[in-house]
Amino acid sequence: MKRTLVAVIAYNEEKNLEATLKDLRSNGPAGIEIVVIDNGSSDRTKAVALAAGVPVVSHCVNSGSSMGTVMSYFLYAHRNKFDCLCQFDGDGQHVAAELHKIIAPVLEGRADYVIGSRFLAKEGFQSYFFRRLGISLFAFLDSLVVGQKLTDVTSGFRAYSPRVLEFFAQRHRHELSDTNQLLLLSHFAGARILEVPVVMRARVHGVSEFRSTAAIVFPLKGVVNILGCLLQRKRIRKTWA
């Protein structure tokens, strides 16, 4: 029996987390295991997760953006030998009933890095204008590098194969700054990338980590990260081989 871990990442999501976990248990694929990765929340996020009876990996301090949780779920999934790992946002944007779409390609051995894209079917929440603009830029650049058309490269609705887990948990233990870096490093490491259409919702409570000031910093940081990954390409390929 292949084991799938759903890592629910949360930062100050006490109002959304309970409903997210309920959705996962009621509408998620059968047999999935759940872990909440709490990025040093200052509210009752950890208490809500513990009350729901799920394992909680809670950072003692906030490590900046949500990318700080990525290392934790890679290490957790690798340590517990899962066959598939999914990232699922604790803010209620992701739909548990859509999980099977990103899990199936990994378990069937068709892909190593599956992105749930909200822009393929163009249904549900399509994000805000400036965010979409930034995503389009990254999608264009990442598609050029990867050599296949990608649309929602910053999507947090992702699934990884054990090959990707092993790479980030063992071979590339470096701080990750954004999803472009995660995607491109996985690609250089030999991961097969796949995008599948999914539906997302708008968050119910709280605010996104992407504020108005991020509209300037977010694209700049992304482009710098893409260039950085290109420089690391040869070394990554050697590491994987």
Establish if 30 lies at the interface with other proteins (CB under 8 A).
no
DSSP state of 72: H
Q: How far is the CB of 143 from other proteins (least distance, A)?
A: 28
Establish if 57 lies at the interface with other proteins (CB under 8 A).
yes
Establish if 60 lies at the interface with other proteins (CB under 8 A).
yes
**Region binding other proteins by CB under 8 A among candidate stretches 1-9, 133-141, 170-178, 182-190:** 170-178
198 CB-near residues (< 8 Å, 6+ apart): 95, 98, 101, 102, 116, 117, 118, 120, 121, 157
Which residue, 178 or 195, has its beta carbon nearer to other proteins?
178
Length of the chain: 241
Q: How far is the CB of 83 from other proteins (least distance, A)?
A: 19
Establish if 72 lies at the interface with other proteins (CB under 8 A).
yes
Distance of CA 222 to the CA centre of its chain: 16
What is the full DSSP assignment across 182-197? HHHHHHHTTPPEEEEE
Establish if 104 lies at the interface with other proteins (CB under 8 A).
no
219 CB-near residues (< 8 Å, 6+ apart): 134, 137, 138
**Positions that interact with other proteins (CB under 8 A):** 35, 37, 55-61, 63, 68, 71-72, 75-76, 79, 173-175
